[in-house]
Chains A and B, each alone.
Chain A
Amino acid sequence: DIQVTQYPSSLSASLGDRVTITCRASQNINDNVAWFQQKPGKAPKSLISAASSLQSGVPSRFSGSGSGTDFTLTISSLQPEDFATYYCQQYNRPPLTFGGGTKVEIK
């Protein structure tokens, strides 16, 4: 199975900060990575597919990059509605696997 390591597990940031979250896969997964945002008590929401393709309706301050084993999610300027938990997922082949999540909190 492909392991996905996500870090940091939590971070504190201020409004307007640039935030970067990283995921590392245990083997080459090409660009088969998705990113999700989850707010407390709510279902996750899809942000990015294919490592860097923004889903419809997702603000342009979100971006994704990477290929192979190393991937990043960047929020260019943190907004109040961005405080949430973020997850990466590899879908290169089953079993699909998620990173452990990154909780983004207010500093």
Chain B
Amino acid sequence: EVQLVESGGAVVQPGGSLRISCAASGFSFKDYAMHWVRQAPGKGLEWVSLISRDSSITYYKDSVKGRFTISRDNSKDSLYLQMNSLRTEDTAFYYCLREYYGQYHWGQGTLVTVSS
């Protein structure tokens, strides 16, 4: 069974940093591109970032460029999102997604709250 389990969500002060993780199991992690998507409480879905299978290609939403870094460790079947200079508008559930030609599998999400 495919499983994506996010962790690391926390309450952080504005300007702070946080790294969230996604542990993958039940499939060959190295064979899939991976994404982070977020959802502010009560709001819609917002794509954040993607990384290719071998980490050679990454993309980011404009508002997080230069602040967030996506990475993966295929030896540990894990995906990461390093978030720096956090803003209140980054408060959201962060979901890890596996993608294969537009077919997605979602994790359950981890909550990041940016508040003083």
Contacts and interface: CB of A to CB of B under 8 A. Distances in A.
B106 A44 contact: yes
A101 B95 contact: no
B114 to A, nearest CB: 21
Contact of A44 (B45, B60, B101): B45
Contacts of B61: 95
Contacts of A63: none
B102 A43 contact: no
How large, as a class, is the contact surface on chain A?
Answer: 20 to 34
A98 interface: yes
B35 interface: yes
B1 interface: no
A23 B99 CA distance: 21
A65 interface: no
Contact of A89 (B47, B59, B101, B107): B47
Interface centre among A1, A44, A55, A100 (most CB of B within 10 A): A44
A32 B60 CA distance: 19
A87 B45 contact: yes
B73 interface: no
Interface stretch (A45-53, A66-74, A75-83): A45-53
Contacts of B35: 96
A38 B95 CA distance: 13
